Amino acid sequence: MDRRASRASLIASLSPALDLSEGQTTGHAVRTCRIAMEIAEALQLPAEVRSDLFCAALLKDAGGPANASAVAAAFGSDDQLVKRRMRFADWSHSPTAARTALASAAMGGTPWGRLRHAARLARGGRRLARKLTGVRSTRGAEVALDLGLSDATATAIRNLGEHWDGGGYPQGLAGTSIPLLSRIIGLAQTVDVFLHQGGPSAVHAVVKDRRGRWFDPEVSDVVLSWSHRATWWSVIRDCRDAASLAGLEPPGQQRPLAPPELDHIARVYAEVVDDKTPYAYLHSRRVAEVVRLMARRLGLPAEEVRRLYRAALLHDIGKLGVSNRILDKPGPLNESEWKAMRSHAQLTLEILQGVPGFRDVARTAACHHERLDGSGYPWGLGADRLDRGARALAVADVYEALTAKRPHRKGRSIDEALEVLRTEAGSSLDLHMVDILTHCIDDEGGAGAVGAKGRAEARERSA
């Protein structure tokens, strides 16, 4: 375990996964955080307020995966592309909103499909926008609280979509009834997307245009006063790495985390990953429960059990970078869709390798679709390159997917799932691991116990 991992460094280094989900360039959340902290410095905000601001800026998109499926369905388009376009559009201006919606509806589809989706979006109007923003803001605040962060941090995230003139969502708050931290981050995130698109002059133009409409005039004036800071803007523009936030980390968030705290953070992010595909709800949690039972049954040392549990919780984190048009597609995938789907395993590796505290689980997590006969992905590794952890995780992942209910099919029974696993055992899956899973199921009185736990939690969450 990386002993230096702190809550702040984990949240910062996991933020690129949220950037991917929102269709943003890598480092968007990190840059938003730097810009927000610079505004806080100019406004001379106290240290405890800056601490809340730091974490809220990095987690501002934590609720994004929760509306990704609905965004893809409503627009009939790639959710990441739609979200990226929406960050540029002045959608509080009705003709612009209508033009952007029309241009984003069923992209790449037939003219009839585009018209149908555009009409549906027009009918949904503000009600649809409020609903989609409400889902992401509520869930984002919940993630912050689940991570043990302050109410102020959660409140800042919950109100991020509000505008100074009352034209934002979900509540239509106006002026100073919008929390100051939401006003700062709302501006900072727009500054970053325009900085990347057109440089400081584009930032100046958008802030000037939306000052007093979207943005707090006082906070806007801080950013407008930076027009002459060419060097600072170029440093911010090139900033991608969470390490660049090291000097800004709040002192209260720098304490190294204990192993159970790291487990907890992995569980919270597993739920963020599972938010992205509603049909796969609690998939990561359930795979992790199965892997933990298997690791204990194998008699592995406690530290290795813990490592495999975290690898299983985070194995599909790369799916945050895959469009819901592909993840949610009920029929077979075409070649390019399949290529994008397979990319999630490589993305899992890339994301986790950048996270202090989770680097040691990156390779095992990324190997969950590798197969002993070399038929898996992303690398087509053979038996000689796959260790116990990767073999156990592959079996648990397939088992959970087979027994889970999907929109287009019922979940298979435990016996049916084991039968499928046994046909693969010895060729693509590890026979010994399938036997271990079978023993775990017998021990638990049916691994349905694991599934039942997941389903009960799902019911509780949706109630």
- Do 368 and 288 meet the contact criterion of CB atoms below 8 Å apart? no
- Do 324 and 68 meet the contact criterion of CB atoms below 8 Å apart? yes
Q: Give me the phi and psi of 429, to 5 degrees please.
A: -105, 160
- Do 327 and 319 meet the contact criterion of CB atoms below 8 Å apart? yes
Pick out residues in 203-242 that bind Fe ion (CB under 5 A). Answer: none
Task: Decide whether 222 or 270 has the Cβ nearer to Fe ion.
Answer: 270
Helix ranges restricted to H, 276-427: 283-297, 302-313, 324-327, 335-353, 362-366, 388-403, 414-424
**Is 61 a residue that touches Fe ion (CB under 5 A)?**
no
**Is 316 a residue that touches Fe ion (CB under 5 A)?**
yes
Only one of the segments 95-103, 108-116, 315-323, 324-332 lies at the binding site for Fe ion (rule: CB under 5 A); that segment is 315-323
Catalytic-residue membership of 405? no
Minimal distance, residue 14 CB to Fe ion, in Å: 18
User: Residue type for 326, please?
Assistant: I
Minimal distance, residue 191 CB to Fe ion, in Å: 35
3-state SS assignment for residue 150: coil
Q: How far apart are the first and last CA of the chain?
A: 37
Identify the burial level of 66 via C-beta atoms within 10 angstroms of its C-beta, where 0-12 means exposed, 13-18 middle and 19 or more buried.
buried
Site string for Fe ion, 386-405 (x = CB under 5 A): -----------x--------
Question: Beta partners for 409?
Answer: 406
Catalytic residue among 60, 83, 276, 319: 319
3-state SS assignment for residue 256: strand
**Is 261 a residue that touches Fe ion (CB under 5 A)?**
no
**DSSP 8-state class, residue 33:** H
**Is 289 a residue that touches Fe ion (CB under 5 A)?**
no
Q: Which of 196, 14, 210 is nearest to 96 (CA)?
A: 210
Task: Decide whether 77 or 364 has the Cβ nearer to Fe ion.
Answer: 364
Minimal distance, residue 283 CB to Fe ion, in Å: 6
Task: Decide whether 93 or 342 has the Cβ nearer to Fe ion.
Answer: 342
Task: Decide whether 248 or 280 has the Cβ nearer to Fe ion.
Answer: 280
User: Residue type for 116, please?
Assistant: R
Task: Decide whether 152 or 320 has the Cβ nearer to Fe ion.
Answer: 320
Minimal distance, residue 276 CB to Fe ion, in Å: 12
Pick out residues in 154-173 that bind Fe ion (CB under 5 A). Answer: none
Minimal distance, residue 82 CB to Fe ion, in Å: 24
Only one of the segments 91-99, 239-247, 305-313, 314-322 lies at the binding site for Fe ion (rule: CB under 5 A); that segment is 314-322
Task: Decide whether 162 or 316 has the Cβ nearer to Fe ion.
Answer: 316
Measured CA angle at 311 (ends 79, 289), to 5 deg: 95
Minimal distance, residue 282 CB to Fe ion, in Å: 11
Copy the structure tokens of residue 127. 């009600």
335: left (phi over 0), alpha (psi -120 to 50) or beta: alpha
The number of residues that bind Fe ion (CB under 5 A) is 2
Site string for Fe ion, 347-386 (x = CB under 5 A): ----------------------------------------
User: Residue type for 219, please?
Assistant: V
Only one of the segments 77-85, 142-150, 311-319, 358-366 lies at the binding site for Fe ion (rule: CB under 5 A); that segment is 311-319
Task: Decide whether 211 or 283 has the Cβ nearer to Fe ion.
Answer: 283
- Do 202 and 18 meet the contact criterion of CB atoms below 8 Å apart? no
Q: Which residues bind Fe ion (CB under 5 A)?
A: 316, 397
Would you name the residues annotated as active-site residues?
Answer: 319
